[in-house]
Amino acid sequence: MERISQLLYKHLKGILTEAEHAELMAWAAADPANWELLNKVIDEESLETHVRDWYAIPRRSVADDARLEAAIAQQEASIRNLHFRQRIRRILPYAAAILIISFAGIWYTYNQEVHQVHEIAAEDISNGGNNAFLTLTDGRKIDLSTGQSGIIIENGQITYEDGSSLAVLPDVGRTVQTNSTLELSTPRGGTYRMTLPDGSKVWLNAASTIKYPSNFIGKERIVEISGEAYFDIKNDRQRPFKVLSKNQEIEVLGTEFNITAYPDENETKTTLVDGKIRLSWSAKSEGTASLNKTIILIPGEQGRLGNGRITKSKVDIAAYTAWKDGFFYFNRTPTAVAITQLARWYDLDVIYEGTGPEANLFAYIDRNKPLSAVLKALEKSELKFKVVQKGQRKQLIVFGEQR
């Protein structure tokens, strides 16, 4: 990195030879990270900003470089009465080269760490669990206990399911008509359960969010979902329950259903377990009015919204609701769909080597097991996996069917 540091400093001063310029550009073009470093020292003004930031750090926390410290000390002793900016200008020639070396060294180390890949054991990756946070109207975020499985919102109070107190909503003590919008979110590898103000229950799967009011006021009960959730709605014929998701609205009276509406998936799937729901699709095209279509689902049917149309069909309900009871249930499930579910639950990035596998999977697996047990079960379908660590992320590499 000493050579690159020299070239960067010459570039800063505008004294690169033609050959050196070509050498530096070749280095920069080799990696986007190199271009970013080059841009950090593109002129004296930007470098001065970095020196100023470094100068402001307490000495004991600066990477101790004797040359830079000596230069700063010497300049401080001789120009104590000069304006701070002038002092920065004075030490810039001394600090620039050293700072560039530091940038280059740190960048090189970081780049190596980010791109370093090594295989890890699948049994070292534990399953997801109870993990969520609640966002209140005033912006407060409450990390919910991993030792609890659900919360209850009632009469302005938030409690865990065992009755232990959690928080008081910001609108407590105001008129009964006052309302707050709350948001419950789970990360990848997290799940949580909640009881809404009307007594309805909701199970959130991994990487999901539900927005809902602290009180259901008026003639409708409305919530908004992103990700996947299972609903058990308390019957109230005077106040229909509505669930909003991507260009879709579900209206129910009292029923149980599962909705999958992840932002990164092309389809929104609504699977009815019990009761009856009205599923409506609406989308606004540029220069046109809203396009609307409605279908009615009965138990055992699934509505699918995607590619500008809405359809329904009979499905195996368990394949779409087993996650609520702690299981992966794959019944002729496309490999890519199954792997996506694993990735959310074990917080993995997925890489497919070669042609993506086309097999349909059959498996019923406990989600509380470590990743190794799940992969072992799936390998019976002629799949092959490897788990690697790349920087701060874990990757699941899927090799497809073994031949």
* pTM given for the model: 0.69
Cβ-proximal residues to 134 (8 Å cutoff; 6+ apart), any chain: 141, 142, 144, 151, 158, 166, 167, 182, 183, 184, 185
Domain limits, the chain: 2-115, 129-320, 326-401
Token pair recorded at residue 67: 């040359």
Give the sign of the dihedral formed by CA 64, CA 67, CA 71, CA 73: positive
Q: Strand (E) positions, 207-326?
A: 209-213, 221-232, 241-245, 248-252, 256-261, 268-274, 277-284, 290-297, 301-306, 309-314
What is the per-residue pLDDT for 201?
Answer: 97
Q: What is the mean pLDDT of residues 328-345?
A: 93
Q: Helices 18-29 and 2-13: crossing angle, nearest 10°?
A: 120
Pairwise CA distance, residues 113 & 394, whole Å: 13
Pairwise CA distance, residues 27 & 5, whole Å: 12
pLDDT digits (tens, 9 = 90+) for 237-272: 889 999 999 889 999 978 999 999 999 898 999 999
How distant is the alpha carbon of residue 373 from its chain centre?
Answer: 25
Q: Report residue 341: phi and psi, to 5°.
A: -65, -45
For residues 344 and 27, the model is more confident at 344
Q: Taking 60 as the threshold, does the pLDDT of residue 53 lie above it?
A: no
Token pair recorded at residue 344: 């959310």
Pairwise CA distance, residues 106 & 94, whole Å: 19
> Is 326-401 a domain of CATH 3.55.50.30?
yes
Long-range contacts, stretch 90-96, CB < 8 angstroms, 24+ apart: 91/51, 91/55, 92/44, 92/47, 92/48, 92/51, 94/67, 94/68, 95/51, 95/54, 95/68, 95/71, 96/9, 96/12, 96/44, 96/47, 96/51
Write the DSSP symbol of residue 289. Answer: P
Q: What angle do CA 188, 191, 194 make, to 5 degrees?
A: 140
Q: What is the mean pLDDT of residues 13-36?
A: 73
Write the DSSP symbol of residue 205. Answer: -
Token pair recorded at residue 180: 């707050």
Q: Taking 50 as the threshold, does the pLDDT of residue 23 lie above it?
A: yes
Q: Helices 44-56 and 32-40: crossing angle, nearest 10°?
A: 80
Q: Which of 111-115, 284-288, 299-303, 321-325 has the lowest mean pLDDT?
A: 284-288
pLDDT digits (tens, 9 = 90+) for 198-246: 999 999 999 999 999 988 888 999 999 999 999 999 999 889 999 999 8
Let me know how long the chain is. 403
Pairwise CA distance, residues 383 & 342, whole Å: 14
Cβ-proximal residues to 250 (8 Å cutoff; 6+ apart), any chain: 242, 243, 244, 257, 259, 270, 277, 278, 279, 280
Give the residue from 250, 389, 252 showing the smallest Cα distance to 310.
250
For residues 197 and 33, the model is more confident at 197
Asked if 238 and 219 count as a contact pair (C-beta separation under 8 A), the reply is yes
CATH class of 129-320: mainly beta
Give the sign of the dihedral formed by CA 395, CA 399, CA 400, CA 401: negative
Cβ-proximal residues to 243 (8 Å cutoff; 6+ apart), any chain: 222, 223, 224, 225, 231, 249, 250, 252, 259
